[in-house]
Amino acid sequence: MNGTITEGTAGKTARPRIVLGSTSPFRRTLLEKLGIQFEVDSPEIDEQPQVGEEPEQLVVRLARAKAEAVAARHPDSLVIGSDQVACIDGRILGKPGSRENAVAQLVAASGKRVTFFTGLCLYNSTTSNAQAICEPFYVHFRQLDQQQIERYLDAEAPYNCAGSFKSEGLGISLFSRLEGDDPNSLIGLPLIRLIAFLDAEGIGIP
């Protein structure tokens, strides 16, 4: 979705472009819900955690790093960066990458509460002003047996998703309860906080 936001009345100052620093189709779909024009660019940064880095620190650092990397190519823009990790029993769950790893993750999550930390940054490439937060969201898993896990993986093959599920799809069937301020953050982009960030930059929604 490409384009530059401008005021409809002649003589008004053009709004800055909005750029989503992510190639995630899920984040793109979420941002489209706000009814604003935006561009998409891939941040291409090193996402490895630093030694001793807490999950909350990691996602905020990476969200800002993604936004700044994209902002370097987009002057006079507002760049959105986001990053997410899932944690269970204090351990970060990455993207499984394989069925074997996905089975292990879902077995570990069965009957437990999994915390999703989503980092969000809105970076103004003109002023270098950065607004950044970590938004937590909690997923309570049902007790899952092996057959349920195998059937789910057959249906969605969520091997590129942290936690081994797609909450916007059949993954919802794995949960007993969701807990948090913004369900959009579970999919990867906390829209309520983003709206507040945009408002601080003079862009009102709606």
Which residues are catalytically annotated?
83
How many helices (H) and strands (E) the chain has is answered by 6, 7
Angle ∠(154,158,164) on CA atoms, nearest 5: 110
Radius of gyration of the chain measured on its C-alpha atoms: 18
C-alpha dihedral over 39, 27, 90, 115, to 10 degrees? 140
169, two tokens? 């799809």
**CA 61/CA 181 separation, integer angstroms:** 22
6, two tokens? 């401008």
Name which of 198, 27, 60, 24 is nearest 124 in CA terms. 198
